[in-house]
């Protein structure tokens, strides 16, 4: 008994001395030198947080982490498995993280960052509401089903419309012959109700509990709104492929015969965890052949914490694309803050990954013409942080978009001003823009099932229309051009690696001739079609983009790229104490940006993706 008491006393004494030594070491210069030595194994943002906590041990709370390993881990840690990236999710204190870093099996440690569905509820500085006519019943805030009467539906169908948007995209013409039949779109979001999707939701998976296998949501005794208690995923799904039955066809998705998998990764408050999303992607990869999944819509993300090459979420997305699934991702809504009207370099993860088709949001001003279109103030701008990649890839309508309303959901209850009648809502954000691109991709694959994710992305960027008023790092390679993208998709023969017919590179919108860009930027280069003279300074309709760039070995942006007063996300951004567990992101005025941006050499294109310099659009000689 006495020996056991002595052993216990000695153990306690050793623990006390180790804790004291660790505390003294943490208060000195040790942690910074240690982290500098192992900076390739830890997220820079997490390292900053550890240094902050090291100086303030009374704040040393547990940090949610994703730890990845070189193969099977031999570290005795308890947590949730994240097998797709050979990792686990767990919570540790700063001194435990420092100890873990030295283990040879550990590959990388980052934050299990909260993800959010990307809507913007403050679009007051963008367009006024032009999609809902004067007698719209948007004042109806009742939550019972009686408001869904035939009279209400009839009144609503005469008031709410997205036809001008479909006209701007050129989608109306395409939808006369193609409607996404046979295509399956997986929507990683908050769920979806059945409105406008009846009998087309194949299955509903719920990953909000963080397990590697989902909870399967059944139809037994479930009210419709409970499928989407936040109200975001239903709206996005309606944009992709709603059949318009609730509005007499006036509010319709691009692919109204596509089918859906609802992959719930954010909860009733619109929040989730990165590790949950990765496990959902893992499950999807296992089931992709069973359901024939070709498109994944991710209208969500989190601020980037590291290079896309180290980001576990980016690695998961890359595996999805390599498996043949087109990943369409929101750029994010970090384009502005309360103190800074324009933020640059604010593309969120996983939209910062080269494999993603990253989408920014455009304000169409409620008209079909593109002449008045501008980038929305909230849409995240490129380049990516910290890699300096050209993003977003493309842009699409994203301001006050009418689509399916999930009644009694969080958005519906807390933002009644966003209602557009009894069955629709008008939401803003890059999430909505992503839906239009995903719907277009479903049409492209309907037209040509042989297209690879890389070719789908190339066609979308090649056919995008350069807007007059939006900056290249706001609109990306241009505005989504559904009509020309589908036409080019039809013309591509993947077997012979040829384009089999000429594709008209322009179309008319309200009497104005709009040209496909015919060239696009990615990585450190520009790809030209025969439509564009690569020695000229002008693309497509004549918008001078190349004057913004000096293409040299160091590939740097000109000094005049950013407007006075703009703020760029740099290495000295201060995220404050609450970085990873609140909604707030804090920025300082003293942000660092170097003249030379790093461009990634590992852009995910195979050598056979671009067959010739003249791929795609040709100099059309036919009559207008």
Q: How far is CA 408 from CA 1, 119, 141, 146, in A?
A: 64, 18, 9, 14
Count Cβ atoms below 10 Å from residue 300 Cβ, excluding itself.
Answer: 31
Q: How far is CA 529 from CA 153, 349, 486, in A?
A: 47, 30, 17
HEC string of 438-501? HHHHHHHHHHCCCCCHHHHHHHHHHHCECCCCCCHHHHCCCECCHHHHHHHHHHEECCCCEECC
Q: Which long-range contacts (CB under 8 A, 24 or more apart) does 211-214 make?
A: 211/80, 211/279, 212/80, 212/81, 212/83, 212/279, 212/282, 212/283, 213/283, 214/263, 214/264, 214/280, 214/283
Q: Report CA torsion sign: 344, 350, 351, 353.
A: positive
347 within 8 A of 379, measured Cβ to Cβ: no
Beta-strand pair 498-499/492-493: antiparallel
Helix ranges restricted to H, 125-190: 150-157, 163-169, 171-174
387 within 8 A of 598, measured Cβ to Cβ: yes
Element (H, E) at 26: helix 2-27
Residues 6+ apart with CB under 8 A from 44: 305, 306, 386, 571
Beta-strand pair 184-189/293-298: parallel
| Known catalytic residue at 573 | no
Measured between alpha carbons, how far apart are the two ends of the chain, in Å?
98
Q: Encoding tokens for residue 79?
A: 């947590």
Burial readout 2-27 (b: 16 or more C-beta within 10 A, e: otherwise) = eeeeeeeeeeeeeeeeeeeebeeebe
349 within 8 A of 314, measured Cβ to Cβ: yes
Q: How far is CA 540 from CA 22, 196, 464, in A?
A: 62, 37, 10
Burial readout 475-501 (b: 16 or more C-beta within 10 A, e: otherwise) = bbbbbbbbbbbbbbbbbbeeeeeebee
Rounded CA separation 214/186 (Å)? 14
Closest CA to 193 of 124, 139, 151, 145: 145
Rounded CA separation 437/190 (Å)? 19
Rounded CA separation 307/161 (Å)? 41
Rounded CA separation 447/442 (Å)? 9
Q: Which of 95, 232, 235, 353 is catalytic?
A: 232
| Known catalytic residue at 124 | no
Rounded CA separation 288/494 (Å)? 22
Q: Which of 247, 431, 438, 573 is catalytic?
A: 431
| Known catalytic residue at 379 | no
Count Cβ atoms below 10 Å from residue 56 Cβ, excluding itself.
Answer: 12
Residues 6+ apart with CB under 8 A from 272: 114, 115, 116, 208, 265, 266, 300
Q: Which of 120, 137, 189, 282 is catalytic?
A: 189
Catalytic sites, residue numbers: 189, 232, 431
């Amino acid at each position: 008994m006495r020996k056991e008491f002595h052993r216990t006393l000695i153990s306690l004494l050793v623990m006390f001395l180790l804790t004291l030594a660790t505390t003294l070491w943490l208060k000195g210069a040790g942690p910074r030198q240690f982290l500098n030595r192992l900076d390739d194994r830890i997220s820079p943002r997490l390292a900053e947080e550890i240094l902050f906590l090291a100086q303030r041990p009374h704040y040393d709370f547990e940090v949610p982490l994703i730890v990845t390993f070189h193969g099977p881990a031999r570290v005795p840690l308890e947590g949730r498995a994240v097998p797709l990236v050979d990792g686990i999710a767990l919570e540790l204190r700063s001194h435990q993280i420092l100890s873990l870093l030295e283990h040879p099996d550990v590959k990388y440690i980052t934050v299990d960052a909260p993800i959010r569905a990307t809507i913007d509820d403050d679009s007051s500085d963008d367009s006024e509401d032009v999609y809902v006519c004067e007698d719209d019943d948007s004042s109806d805030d009742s939550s019972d089903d009686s408001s869904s009467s035939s009279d209400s539906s009839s009144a609503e169908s005469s008031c709410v419309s997205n036809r001008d948007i479909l006209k701007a995209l050129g989608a109306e013409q395409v939808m006369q012959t193609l409607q996404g039949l046979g295509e399956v779109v997986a929507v990683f979001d908050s769920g979806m109700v059945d409105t406008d999707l009846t009998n087309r939701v194949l299955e509903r998976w719920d990953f909000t509990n963080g397990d590697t296998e989902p909870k399967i949501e059944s139809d037994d005794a479930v009210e419709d709104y409970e499928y989407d208690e936040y109200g975001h995923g239903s709206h996005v799904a309606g944009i992709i492929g709603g059949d318009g039955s609730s509005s007499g066809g006036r509010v319709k998705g691009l692919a109204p015969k596509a089918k859906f998998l609802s992959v719930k990764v954010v909860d009733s408050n619109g929040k989730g965890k990165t590790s949950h999303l990765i496990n959902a992607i893992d499950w999807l990869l296992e089931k992709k052949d069973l359901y024939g999944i070709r498109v994944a819509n991710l209208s969500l993300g989190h601020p980037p914490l590291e290079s896309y090459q180290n980001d576990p979420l980016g690695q998961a997305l890359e595996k999805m694309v390599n498996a043949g699934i087109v990943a369409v991702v929101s750029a994010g809504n970090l384009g502005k803050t309360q103190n800074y009207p324009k933020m640059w370099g604010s593309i969120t993860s996983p939209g910062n990954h080269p494999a993603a088709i990253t989408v920014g949001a455009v304000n169409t001003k409620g008209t079909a013409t593109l002449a008045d279109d501008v980038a929305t103030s909230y849409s995240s701008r490129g380049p990516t942080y910290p890699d300096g990649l050209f993003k977003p890839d493309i842009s699409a309508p994203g301001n006050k978009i009418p689509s399916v309303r999930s009644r009694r959901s969080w958005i519906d209850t807390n933002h009644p001003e966003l209602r557009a009648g009894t069955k629709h809502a008008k939401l803003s954000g890059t999430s909505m823009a992503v839906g239009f691109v995903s719907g277009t991709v479903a049409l492209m694959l309907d037209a040509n099932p042989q297209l690879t994710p890389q070719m789908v992305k190339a066609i979308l960027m090649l056919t995008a229309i350069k807007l007059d008023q939006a900056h290249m790092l706001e609109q990306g390679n241009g505005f989504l051009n559904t009509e020309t993208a589908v036409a080019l998709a039809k013309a591509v023969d993947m077997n012979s690696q040829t384009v089999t017919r000429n594709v008209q590179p322009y179309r008319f919108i309200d009497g104005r001739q709009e040209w496909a860009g015919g060239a696009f930027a990615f990585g450190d280069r520009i790809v030209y079609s025969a439509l564009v003279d690569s020695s000229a300074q002008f693309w497509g309709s004549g918008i001078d983009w190349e004057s913004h760039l000096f293409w040299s070995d160091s590939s740097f942006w000109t000094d005049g790229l950013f407007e006075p007063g703009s703020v760029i996300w740099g290495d000295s951004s201060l995220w404050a104490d609450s970085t990873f567990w609140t909604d707030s992101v804090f920025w300082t005025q003293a942000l660092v940006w170097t003249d030379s941006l790093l461009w990634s050499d590992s852009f995910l294109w195979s050598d056979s993706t671009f067959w010739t310099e003249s791929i795609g659009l040709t100099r059309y000689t036919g009559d207008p």
